[in-house]
Structure 1
Amino acid sequence: MTRVLRILGCLLAVIAAPLLLVQGMANARMDARLADLNGFWKADLASALVQVEQSGSTLRLDVNDAGIELAQQAFASEPLASDALFPIAVAWAADGRADDANALVDAGLRLDKRNRSLGVLELQRVAAAQDLPGLFAQLNRLSVLYPPLINDFVQPLTAALDDAASVPAIRDALVAEPVWAEAFWKSVPRSPRGLASMYALRETVDAGVTGESDALLLEGLGNGGLFAQAFDHWDAHLAGADAPRTGFMADDEFAPIGWRSTRSGSVSFAARGGGGYDIYVERQTAGELARQLVRLTPGTYRFTAETSPARDAEHLRVSLFCAGAEETAAGGQSQTLDQAATFTASPACDIYWLVLTGEAYATRGALDARLTGMQFEAVR
């Protein structure tokens, strides 16, 4: 349940932020002429008198007598001023009138479903009850009302994937096809545990999934070291009918199955369409150009490519390392591209990094070449 409270706390932070801003602005401009304001302005200023303090998943709210009186005046003069109900509900809750405060919040949200202040109190009630279904109901409501905030709302859910205990509840919520589902799938975790949880969810849930989100998850799995899951995900959701079992791709559409390129001040590997790449390595430097994951059964494999101009092929190198193993000369195989490069896949490893590097130590200037026609296949 600790994780549930953390989720609630993060959501409260997202929705409470505008309150803190309004409070600071209003406190700076308040004066004695409040009686001349209309009901809506009075309601705004009464809400600004609510003191908001947040610590983790705990939100403390308090309001002084002036704020309560101003809120009562506001609602009496303008029954549609739903912001006036916020300080009144805060005061009632502080006085131990929780049922009355909850009823007032419900009435206010029926009057104005978009009211963020009352939404804070509703989330606070859900948090106090440790009501996870209630949390997801509120998350869906807020996502409908505030589409620009959906990406913020799903961040706590993504963080919650680090805890396996949260996964069943998130799965149940996703099955209901909530408004925030697509944003959730695109918010890929970085931690191995979070990635593993999202991968497990993806294997059982389709709601809200897109080709883009599947590609983002593949990228996360590969970059996060979950290589076997990356290929399983590729096989199930992204590989075409004619995709090679090795996963080798001459393009970068689904990297790191396909080239994950490097761009820096001294090294560049830029796609130019049709499986071709422009390569640049600054003079007297060297570095990695690109890498991709390949899945190999024991045997011999050959990598070939056309380099233009051909004389630059000796300055380009392709290497094969067992994914996850230390990448040293002793732990991998490496050859220049001035001839077909052959590699041996061991029974001890089934997923490898295929890595392209370049150097410009022995060139007259920078290495500026184009690589096309790349192929990687088993030698029969």
Structure 2
Amino acid sequence: MPRKLRLMLAIGVMPALAIFAALFSLSTIATGLVPERATQLPVLNANAHAAEAAAGLGGFGTPKGAEAAAAMTRAGRETFLSEPINANAISLMALARQLGGDLPGARALYEHAIVVDKRNRLANLWLIEDASANGRLGYILDRYDVLLRTGGPTSTALYDTLATALREPAMVPHLEARLVRNPPWAEQFWLRVAPNPGAIANLGELRLRLLARKIGNPANNDGDIVRRLVGLSEYDIAARLARSIAGAPAGGGFTIRNGEFAARPLVPPFDWETYTGTEFGAELDPASGVLSFFSVTSIDNLVAHQLSEAKAGRYVINYRVRNPEVLGQLQSTLRLRCAEPAMALGTLPLTRATGGAAFTVPPTCRYLWVELWAKREAAPSGYPEDALLESVEVRAAP
């Protein structure tokens, strides 16, 4: 495992350890507030002794002198004698060994603690940190899997760590191996990692691998992932993901998806994406087979667009409008531009029932935006009628 990736995963453990140190004594409210007094009572609540030891730390990893190890040893032993299967007690004895410099002994006790309770936070967090030094990425993610199933603040910190670690491609197959089992934390994983711009490309690759294995996304945010990939100019991954979700556009090659507005868009912007404001807007209505749009402002606004995979060549774009009489007052245009490198390729005003124009796609342009813009020069006297666009078609020029 790359050293950088091990560091990401290990560093991610530290805020979780700090959170755990604060929550470790949550057996009862009294135990959390005054652990030293709780331990003066009969050992009805064994975790009170764990709380006393945790209270002896100014912060996790910064003991208040040698007495911290002794306090944890005492608390762990007393709890263990009262409740031999108490994983917190075993973890406290392990922590005492760790602070005393006996790492092999600490490791053995921590490993025993997760045999008793595989979700014991302290044992899992320490074992994650320990494994990171040895490059055992699979083991680390197994421990993450366990902790993420417990929920709570520790899980929140670990989601952030996974998002950071996913910037490394080496993480993809390891996460795939765990997500293919559809763990209970999968939904939160997709929701929390998608907004991370550094991880989005590998998140897309991960989703592609799982789609190939017919594994669903419980968060139902594949469309959001596609949009975020496009927003960061990760067009290749976004296009592959769109094809995996919705299939290739009918006709193959360079074409417009859903050009007759017969279905709800599946994966915008690789299908029609519409925009609406207070003075303009568009809506795709598959029942009527139209994309309706309007504008009551003199400011030119983008009301709909679609991103298409392009191929170099000479093409013709055509349109058809159901109610061309409204086009006299509503100035609207279809514009074509290359996504990367950014360049305008052509403009087609919508002035009558049908129209078309030729344009050339250069070899450097692999993704092309087809955009619908609209404005109105004069304010309407009443509520304006929407324009009804029936089709947009791109085909090879004769």
Q: Number of paired residues? A: 369
Deviations 1:97-137 (A, max 9, x none): 11221121122212122222222222222223332121122
Unaligned runs of 5+ in 2: none
Give the 3-state SS of the residue equivalent to 1:318 in structure 2: strand
Match of 2:319 among 303, 314, 325: 303
Aligned to 1:171: 173
Deviation at 1:307, TM superposition (A): 5.1
Q: Percent identity?
A: 15
Which deviations, in whole Å up to 9, do the C-alpha atoms of 1:61-119 show, x marking residues without a partner?
Answer: 64724454334333322334322333332221010111221121122212122222222
Pairing of 1:30-69 with structure 2 (within 5 A) = 30=35, 32-36=37-41, 38-46=44-52, 48-49=54-55, 51=57, 53=59, 60=61, 62=63, 64=68, 65-69=70-74
Which of 368-377 and 194-203 deviates more? 194-203
Q: Give the deviation of 1:373 after TM superposition.
A: 2.3
Partner of 1:345: 359
Q: For the structure 1 residues 357 and 149, does the alpha-carbon distance in structure 2 shift closer, same or farther, using more than 3 Å as the test? A: farther
| 1:172–1:48 Cα change, 3 Å | closer
Tell me by how many angstroms 1:253 deviates: 1.7
Check 1:35–1:272 CA distance in 2 against 1; reply closer, same or farther (3 A cut): farther
Structure 2 CA distance for partners of 1:360 and 1:301, relative to 1, 3 Å: closer
* Larger mean Cα displacement after TM superposition, 316-325 or 237-246: 237-246
* 1:359 maps to 2:336: no
1:46–1:84 Cα contact (<8 Å) kept: no
Which segment drifts farther, 201-210 or 349-358?
201-210
- Distance in 1 (CA, whole Å) between partners of 2:164 and 2:351 is 44
Matched residue, 1:56: none
Secondary structure of 1:2 counterpart: helix
Identify the range of structure 1 (85-94 vs 339-348) with the bigger mean alpha-carbon deviation: 339-348
Contact 1:214/1:238 (<8 A) preserved? no
- The residue type equivalent to 1:292 in the other structure is Q
Residue pair 1:47, 1:86 contacting (<8 A) in 2 also: no
C-alpha spacing 1:235/1:271, structure 2 compared with 1 (3 Å): closer
- Match 2:307 to one of 281, 293, 298: 293
**CA gap 1:50/1:357 in 2 versus in 1, 3 angstroms:** farther
Residue 129 in structure 1 maps to residue 143 in structure 2: no
Which residue among 96, 103, 106 is the counterpart of 2:108? 103
Structure 1 residue 320 displacement after superposition: 1.2
- Cα distance in 1, alignment partners of residues 285 and 165 from structure 2: 40
Aligned equivalent of 1:239: 247
Task: Specify the SS of the correspondent of 2:46.
Answer: helix
Letter in 2 for 1:374: S
Map 1:1-380; keep pairs closer than 5 Å: 1-14=3-16, 17-21=19-23, 28-30=33-35, 32-36=37-41, 38-46=44-52, 48-49=54-55, 51=57, 53=59, 60=61, 62=63, 64=68, 65-146=70-151, 153-163=158-168, 167-175=169-177, 177-180=180-183, 183=187, 187-188=193-194, 191=197, 194-200=199-205, 206-207=212-213, 209-210=215-216, 212=220, 215-239=223-247, 242=250, 245=253, 246-249=255-258, 250=261, 251-274=264-287, 275-277=289-291, 279=293, 281=295, 283=297, 285-297=299-311, 298-306=314-322, 310-311=326-327, 314-326=330-342, 332-336=346-350, 338-348=352-362, 349-364=365-380, 369=386, 371-378=388-395
- Mean CA deviation greater in 34-43 or 364-373: 364-373
SS state of the match for residue 60, structure 1? Answer: coil
Q: Please list the CA deviations of residues 244-287 of structure 1 after superposition, one character each: whole Å capped at 9, or x if unmatched.
A: 54142234321111122324454433444435455454545442
Q: Is the 8 A contact 2:172 2:205 kept in 1?
A: no
Tell me the amino acid that sits aligned with residue 248 of structure 1.
R
CA 1:286/1:228 → structure 2, altered by over 3 Å: closer, same or farther? same
Are the equivalent residues in 2 in contact too, given 1:39–1:75 (CA < 8 A)?
no
User: Mind listing any 5+ residue stretches in structure 1 that lack a counterpart?
Assistant: 54-58
CA RMSD of aligned residues (A): 3.9
Describe the SS at the equivalent of 1:129.
Answer: coil
Give the TM-score taking structure 1 as reference length. Answer: 0.78
